[in-house]
Amino acid sequence: MPHPVGMKSSDDKGNTQTIIGVVKDFHSKSLHNKIEPLILPYADRQSPVITVSAKPGSSQKISDIYHHFIDDVPFRQQYITDMLVKQYEPDRKASVVFDVFTALAIFLSCLGLFGLTTLVLRQRTREIGIRKLLGAGKWQLARVLSSSFLLLVLLALVIAIPIAGIVMQKWLQTYPYHTRIDWIAYSTPILSILLVTVMVISIEINRASKTDIVKSIS
C-alpha cells in the first residue's frame, strides 16, 4: 500500500485536499468512545481557536499578547484539562457514590459482626470458663471461638467476589479499550476484610477471656 502523503482527499462538499502528513491514532473524544478516523484540515484563513501550550499562571500574559494582535474579538480561554475532567464527570460522581456506599456497608458489617460476636460469646460463657479452667490460654480460646466467624466471612467472600467481578467487567465494557481485572486486585480487599474481622473478634474474645471463671461457670 503506497504512503498516503501526497495523495488527494475529498470532503463531503467536494473540496479536494492534499494529504501532507500522518500522525498516530489518538483519542479525540473520551475513552468511552473508540478511536475513529480523523482528518485535521489545514486552513490558511484566520482560525477562531488558538491552541497554546503554557505554564500555570501565564493566563494574563497570553491575554495581553492576544489583545496586542486582536482587539476586535473578545478573549475567552478554556483549559484542556478542564475539558477532560468534564468528559469524565459522570464517572467521578459514580466513584463518589460507590465510595460512600462501600464505607457504609463496611461500617454496618462491622456493627453486625460486633453484635453477633457478643451474642455468641455470651451464649458460650460456660464453655469459655470451662476451657480456661482446663488451662486454655487466650490464643487457644481465640482459635477455637473465631473459627466459626471466619468461616462465615470466607463464605461471604466466596459469594461476593464473583458478583463484584461480574459488575466490574460490565463497567469496564463501557470502555472500548480497557484493562483486565487480575486476581491480585482482589487480594487487598480480602486481606482488609479478614483483618477487620480478626480485630473485631479479638476485642470481644479478649474481653470474654477476662471474665472470672467462677462467675462464667456458675
Residue type present at position 146: S
Contacts of 132 (CB under 8 A, 6+ apart): 141, 209, 213, 216
Please give the Cα distance from 41 to 19 (Å, whole number). Answer: 9
**In contact, 33 and 176? CB cutoff 8 Å:** yes
Other residues' Cβ atoms within 10 Å of the Cβ of residue 128: 22
**In contact, 31 and 177? CB cutoff 8 Å:** yes
pLDDT for 100 equals 92
Q: What is the pTM of this model?
A: 0.61
**In contact, 119 and 209? CB cutoff 8 Å:** no
User: What is the number of alpha carbons within 13 Å of residue 108 lying toward its C-beta?
Assistant: 6
Please give the Cα distance from 102 to 42 (Å, whole number). Answer: 50
Which helix (H) or strand (E) segment holds residue 160: the answer is helix 138-172
pLDDT for 137 equals 66
Q: Which value, in Å, is the radius of gyration of the alpha carbons in the chain?
A: 32
Q: Which residue has the cell 478573549?
A: 75
Decide: helix, strand or coil at residue 88: coil
Handedness of CA 69, 75, 76, 79 (dihedral sign): positive
Which helix (H) or strand (E) segment holds residue 17: the answer is strand 16-18
In order along its 218 residues, the chain shows pLDDT tens digits of 677 887 887 777 777 888 888 888 888 888 888 888 888 877 666 667 778 888 878 888 888 888 888 778 888 888 888 888 888 888 889 889 988 998 898 888 878 877 877 777 777 767 666 766 666 666 777 677 777 777 888 888 888 888 888 888 888 888 888 888 777 777 887 888 888 877 877 777 777 666 665 555 55
